[in-house]
Structure 1
Amino acid sequence: MPAVKMSAHPEAVTDLREPTVNRRPTILTALALTATAALTLSACGSDDGKARGTEVERDSKPASPTASADPSPDRPEIELPADLKLTFEGGETGDPVKDAILADNAERMRAVDAAITGTDPEGKALAFYNTGKALQAALDWVAQFEEAGATLTGQARYYDREVTLKGEDSATLVFCADESKGFSKDKKTDEVHKTPVTENSYVLYDTRLDRNTDGVWQTSQIVSTRGAAQCRP
């Protein structure tokens, strides 16, 4: 399989209209509906490991339900392979609502990788933390990995995470990703396709989250800008 440049989460949606109703399709259903697309996967991970604010590491361990605005929903457990590590910085702001948004966003990012790597083959966590256009973008992206016979390995670091509340049940979250130490891996051969570090290894994400009736902050819109100056070291 030719090397594919990997961004763990390159889903970009430029239409910021109200999200559609989440029908929570399964990954298998999405695969049948997804058109063939070229893969542009780059690396995912920390280059220098420098912390910017409080650092929260999430790999194979699920997030604590106390970090969310409403611990009552039966949240899916998310596990990632041992060779894939995600780090989220700045998880505690002192504002319980903002902290819940940051926690649910982190679980959203982990959910996408769990679907890609096969630890959540039915995409239960993916549908739990996404809705509307963001859900469809994530499903399409997972399908591209499936079609290419690829998975993820390495590291990703998320930092400079800034929440802006837009009312009681809506918010925006802008953050950066350092994807310089993560790569695609062939599922059959385990061959890792390493790519050089460039400015495109750093990605700016602009997301919208909406709190559903269960108190979960679901990502409903996501726009990514690769090579954004404010995210580069």
Structure 2
Amino acid sequence: MARRTMPVVATLMAGATLLLTSCGSGGDDASPDKIEGAGGGSEKSKTSAPAKPGEPDLSLPSDLKVEFGSSKSSDPRQAAAQENAENYIRALNHGITAQDPKDPAYQFYSLGNATRYAQEQIKSWVDDKWTATGTDTYYRPKTDKVGTAGVLVTMCRDQSKFYGKNVESKKIRYTKPSLDDYQEFRLLMKEPKGSQKIWKVLQIEVEGRVKECRR
């Protein structure tokens, strides 16, 4: 499973204000970034926190962990945006392990381009008969205010211990550590308005082979 580098986020900040005022639009047609990984057991982890009332199930198989750094913004608004940026990533992993491109979890936490990205990402895993196992790690989070109704959440990713597992043969495809393991995620979050009660990811872009993310 080859990793695919997503486009650099050169246009994300420039178009943020427009995107935040037209959140129903589709966004960029970005190809799925196949994370080297896999996992697979069907048993759900008993350590997963139960979903809050009204929120989707984000539990994962016991052989897959999604880890985030403990650093949070001191601004309550930006901290809330960061929390649901992380939930969106958890939901993406949930959809991969559930083998469901229409999984309700990622749809709950996303709009527009981010919804389509998650669906295409999960579908690529399902079509290739892969699921995920190992540890998917995110760290060095940063939040920035965008206009009057948005927050840009940026974080590094280390997928050196995140592997693909064939759902039929159960074989895990291990990869050698390299610069390909390090990515930078940028998630444009939309502030809750009206009936929308939580921050949602409006657009996601991922840059691959980021030397600055090496630990």
How far apart in 1 are the matches of 2:94 and 2:117? 15
How far apart in 2 are the matches of 1:147 and 1:131? 23
Distance 1:95 1:120, change over 3 A: farther
How far apart in 2 are the matches of 1:43 and 1:200? 13
* Divergent runs of 4+, >4 A: 10-15, 37-40, 119-122
Asked if 2 retains the 8 angstrom alpha-carbon contact of 1:5 and 1:183, the reply is no
What code does the residue aligned with 2:24 have? Answer: V
Partner of 1:21: 24
Q: Of 43, 56, 61, which aligns to 1:76?
A: 56
How far apart in 2 are the matches of 1:130 and 1:92? 21
| 2:48 is the alignment partner of 1:60 | yes
State the SS of the aligned residue for 1:224. strand
The CA RMSD measured in Å over matched residues stands at 2.8
Asked if 2 retains the 8 angstrom alpha-carbon contact of 1:79 and 1:119, the reply is no
Partner of 1:41: 35
Q: What runs of 5+ residues in structure 2 fail to find an aligned partner?
A: 39-46
Bigger drift between 126-135 and 160-169 goes to 160-169
How far apart in 1 are the matches of 2:2 and 2:176? 10
Sequence identity of aligned pairs in percent?
24
Partner of 2:214: 232
How far apart in 1 are the matches of 2:173 and 2:162? 9
How far apart in 2 are the matches of 1:22 and 1:107? 22
Distance 1:104 1:181, change over 3 A: same
How far apart in 2 are the matches of 1:106 and 1:184? 21
How far apart in 2 are the matches of 1:121 and 1:222? 17
State the SS of the aligned residue for 1:220. strand
Question: How far 1:105 sits from its partner (Å)?
Answer: 0.9
Residues 136-165 of structure 1 show CA distances to partners (whole Å, capped at 9, x for unaligned) of 111111111110011000001111100012
How far apart in 1 are the matches of 2:213 and 2:136? 13
Partner of 2:105: 125
| 2:204 is the alignment partner of 1:216 | no
Q: Of 52, 56, 67, which aligns to 1:87?
A: 67
What code does the residue aligned with 1:60 have? Answer: S
Partner of 1:98: 78
Asked if 1 retains the 8 angstrom alpha-carbon contact of 2:34 and 2:125, the reply is no
Number of corresponding residues: 194
Task: Tell me the TM-score normalised to structure 2 length.
Answer: 0.79
Bigger drift between 222-231 and 208-217 goes to 208-217
What code does the residue aligned with 2:170 have? Answer: D
State the SS of the aligned residue for 2:127. helix
Bigger drift between 86-95 and 197-206 goes to 86-95
| 2:158 is the alignment partner of 1:178 | yes
What code does the residue aligned with 1:164 have? Answer: D
Question: How far 1:117 sits from its partner (Å)?
Answer: 0.4
Residues 96-133 of structure 1 show CA distances to partners (whole Å, capped at 9, x for unaligned) of 21221121011100000100100767411110111111
How far apart in 1 are the matches of 2:201 and 2:8? 12
Question: How far 1:42 sits from its partner (Å)?
Answer: 2.5
State the SS of the aligned residue for 2:186. strand
Distance 1:110 1:12, change over 3 A: farther
Asked if 2 retains the 8 angstrom alpha-carbon contact of 1:90 and 1:161, the reply is no
Q: What runs of 5+ residues in structure 1 fail to find an aligned partner?
A: 24-36, 45-58, 66-72
How far apart in 2 are the matches of 1:97 and 1:131? 19
Partner of 2:125: 145
